[in-house]
Amino acid sequence: MQIIEVADKKTAKEFIQFPVGLYKNEPHWIRPLDKDVEEVFHPKTNKFFRHGECTRWVMKDEGGKVIGRVAAFVNKKGFKSKNSQGQELCVGGMGFFEAINDKAVAFKLFDTCKEWLESKGANAMEGPINFGERDNWWGLLVEGFEIDPNYKMPYNFPHYQEWFEEYGFQTYFKQLTFGRGVNDPLEEKYYDKAARIAKDPKYVFKQLDPKQIEKFTEDFRTIYNQAWVKHSGVGEMSTLQAKNIMKQMKPIIDPDVVFFAYYDGEPVAFFFNLPEVNQVIRYLNGKLDWIGKLKFLYHKLMRTNKKMVGRGFGVVPAHQGKGLEGAIVMFSREIVQEKIRGRYLEYEMNWIGDFNPKMVKVAASIGRVIKTHVTYRKLFDDSIVFERCPEIR
């Protein structure tokens, strides 16, 4: 077996192509767009290179056939921390792991990441994760193999879990994806919460208006920075970042399913949903060339996708626990179950970490867990005490 660092167009193509043959008989695997994967590994398209570095490898057998791939990365922001015992942790990452059904191949790929990360000063690694934001390519699928993966979310073989755990990876946190039928009834308490909020005329609910996209983008940023920055691993969003997010989402946004709440004119909550774009990407064979774009446009115009995915939910702290969460969900129900009934049939929420019990409780009242991914952590030093990701209180 030979490990080869990806350093030219040939090995980069092999890195991209390897999963295509590996999953050819898996009906629920959806080939990602090639460009989406490649953008992770280039400084011009990945801002994390400003304060980090990454590399990737393919593994070949004696005949030159690719039998595995993996990537490793170090993000200097948040690289060092301490556990509750005061022990220093320097955590790197590994991801984009794929291998033939051979444990020796898997362990050699894990070893390669470990050795590279140790050379960068790491004494632990998390994986499989992304050299980027947590909402993309994050976690190992351990439950929900019978369901299609959502856009930029991992799908993998069930036996990968055994390999990770046997190698010494431990569960750092679980990522729970909740789902439901769009037209399924909601719990009675949501009607009560909506009625309670309705008594206060200062609360107003709106859908995204494309003609006022700049205003709604800034409202989104304002709510996000108040609701999410206190979470571990989440930084404050700049105006430029917010605009870039909206720009990226513009081709697929359905304004009818993006909701905002205001109190006395100030933005206080958002409920951001999107058509599940993987249901269209499955027809593109990884290519968004002119043919791919025509296919994408066709499926968008024909509304062949019947799945909607919740990409973000936030309530500013001053309005949490007042029933606003339920009220904005009820406002969305009026739209998707009545105004645009039939446009979407399935609904999934973006994953929620088990370190966030409040949001898990909210999601559990809307749907049920249909997929579970795991973010693992492997300690290189046995003297360091392993601790799970701390809960958000």
The alpha carbon dihedral of 212, 214, 220, 223 has a sign of negative
Q: What is the rounded CA–CA span in Å between residue 137 and residue 37?
A: 9
Helical pair 239-249 and 213-227, crossing angle rounded to 10 deg: 120
Beta strands in the chain (DSSP E): 2-5, 52-60, 66-75, 80-82, 88-99, 124-127, 140-143, 170-181, 203-207, 258-263, 266-275, 307-315, 346-349, 352-353, 368-379
Domain ranges within the chain, ordered by starting residue: 2-176+374-379, 183-344
Average pLDDT of the residues of the chain = 92
Enter the DSSP assignment of 186. P
Query: Across residues 353-374, what is the average pLDDT?
Result: 91
pLDDT tens per residue across span 229-250: 665 556 688 899 889 888 888 8
The pLDDT value given to residue 355? 93
- Hey, which CATH number is domain 2-176+374-379, 3.40.640.10, 3.30.56.10, 3.40.1390.10, 3.40.630.30? 3.40.630.30
Cα distance between the two ends of the chain: 47
Asked if the peptide bond before residue 317 counts as cis, ω within 30 degrees of 0, the response is no
Closest CA to 5 of 116, 100, 93: 116
Residue 273 · residue 298 · CB < 8 Å = no
**What pLDDT shows up at residue 359?**
84
Task: Provide the pLDDT confidence category of residue 323 given band limits of 50, 70 and 90.
Answer: confident
- Measured CA to CA in angstroms, residue 322 lies from 200, 319, 325, 327, 328 at distances of 11, 6, 8, 9, 12
Q: How far is CA 9 from the centre of its chain?
A: 28
User: Highest mean pLDDT range out of 80-84, 170-174, 339-343?
Assistant: 170-174
Distance of CA 316 to the CA centre of its chain: 22
| Of 214, 95, 220, 91, nearest in space to 160 by CA | 95
Closest CA relative to residue 162, chosen from 96, 103, 100: 103
Residue 302's pLDDT is 85
Length of the chain counted residue by residue: 393
* pLDDT given for residue 234 in this prediction: 62
How many other CB atoms are found less than 10 A from the CB of residue 125?
27
The reported pLDDT for the residue numbered 233 is: 55
**pLDDT number for residue 312:** 83
Nearest to 188 by CA among 313, 348, 358, 330: 330
Contact of 243 with 217, CB cutoff 8 Å: yes
CATH number for the region 183-344 comes to: 3.40.630.30
Q: Residue 369 class from Cβ within 10 Å (0-12 exposed, 13-18 middle, 19+ buried)?
A: middle
3-state DSSP of 279-301: HHHCCCCCCCCHHHHHHHHHHHH
Cα–Cα–Cα angle for 90, 92, 94, nearest 5°?
160
Tell me the pLDDT tens digit for each residue of 66-123: 999 999 999 998 899 999 899 999 999 999 999 999 999 999 999 999 999 999 999 9
Which of 94-103, 146-155, 256-265, 308-317 shows the lowest mean pLDDT across its residues?
308-317
Confidence tier at 320 by pLDDT (50, 70, 90): confident
Residue 297 — very low, low, confident or very high, per pLDDT cuts 50/70/90?
Answer: confident
Counting residues of the chain whose pLDDT is more than 70, the rounded percentage is 98
Helix intervals (H) in 170-289: 188-198, 213-227, 239-249, 278-281
Paired sense of beta strands 203-207 and 170-181, if any: unpaired
Do the domains spanning 2-176+374-379 and 183-344 agree at the CATH topology level? Answer: yes
Which tops the pLDDT comparison, 345 or 185?
345
pLDDT at site 326: 85
pLDDT at 17: 97
Rg (the chain; Cα; Å): 22
| Mean pLDDT, range 364-385, rounded to an integer | 95
Cα 385 from chain centroid? 28
Predicted pLDDT of residue 192: 83
Q: Residue 311's pLDDT band (boundaries 50, 70, 90)?
A: confident
